[in-house]
Every structure is written in C-alpha cells, then in structure tokens.
Amino acid sequence: MKQAMRDKNAVALNTIRMLKSAIKNAAIEKGGASAELNDAETVAVIRKELKKRQDSIEQFEKAGRQDLADKEKEELAVLQGYLPQPLSAGEIEKLIDDAIAETGATSKKDMGQVMKLVQERAAGRADGKALSQAVMAKLP
C-alpha cells in the first residue's frame, strides 16, 4: 500500500484498500473483530474479489462500457499479483492422479471425494472449475 502511495498509483492504492477491507470483513465474519485469516482463507478472499472483477468486466463489455471494463481489468491485474503461483497443467494432472489412486475412485459418483482431496492439496493455486473439469475427464 505504501509503495502504491509513493508511486501515486490510484488504481493500485484503491484496489489494495478494497482488498484489505474485504479481508478484514472476512476475518470479522469468521470470529469477531480480533480474528485473523490464515493464508488459505486470505487466498480465497482474493479469488472471490478476482471473480467479482471478471464478472464486472463481462457485464460492462456487454453493456458497451469499455471505460469501466478497462478500470476493472486494471484492478484485476493488481489482484492477480497477490495470488500464489498457479499450478501447471502437469502438476494438476499428477495431483488428480494421486487423489484418484488414494481414494480408490472408479467412477464419476466418487468425484466428490476426489475433488475434496484435490482442492485441499491445490491450496488455492488452481481454479475450482478447471479442477472439476479435469477430474471429470479422468473419471470414467
């Protein structure tokens, strides 16, 4: 936040302030004013804010408001800088194979068990929708 102030980067500063507020609100929801979030919960808040920006961009572009869509894209870029490095396709595939072997999953009806394990191990470094599609493709 201090760096954004020094650089007089209003977009980054406002985005960081918004993110700080969202994290604090999530902590309050979790356990009161003195509660703090762990790293996984913080990443979940950042992902939620990213999703909001992506949805806004889509809506603004449909409505022909490119100026607002561009602003949201700038905020999206700032938020992405706070996420951990995403897993590669190979790492995701290995994670899914290991989870399938560990749970003994044989069909799509076992997908819930596999997804739970995969999401725990991915720890916010992969999109849930992409993981779900990859798991579905692996299970007969």
**Tell me: the pLDDT tens digits for 6-45?**
888 888 888 889 988 888 888 888 877 777 777 778 888 8
Residue 105, domain extent: 89-138
Give per-residue pLDDT as tens, 34-85: 777 777 788 888 888 888 888 898 999 998 898 888 888 888 888 888 887 7
Task: Match 């607002």 to its residue by tokens.
Answer: 68
| Contacts for 45 with CB less than 8 Å, ≥ 6 apart | 19, 22, 23, 26, 37
98 with 54, same domain? Answer: no
**Average pLDDT, integer, range 117-133:** 77
Structure token digits, residue 87: 């897993």
Residues 32 and 71 in one domain: yes
Would you state the structure tokens that stand for residue 109, as one six-digit string? 């009806």
Could you tell me if 50 and 93 lie in one domain? Answer: no
The CATH number that applies at residue 101 is: 1.10.10.410
62 and 102 share one domain: no
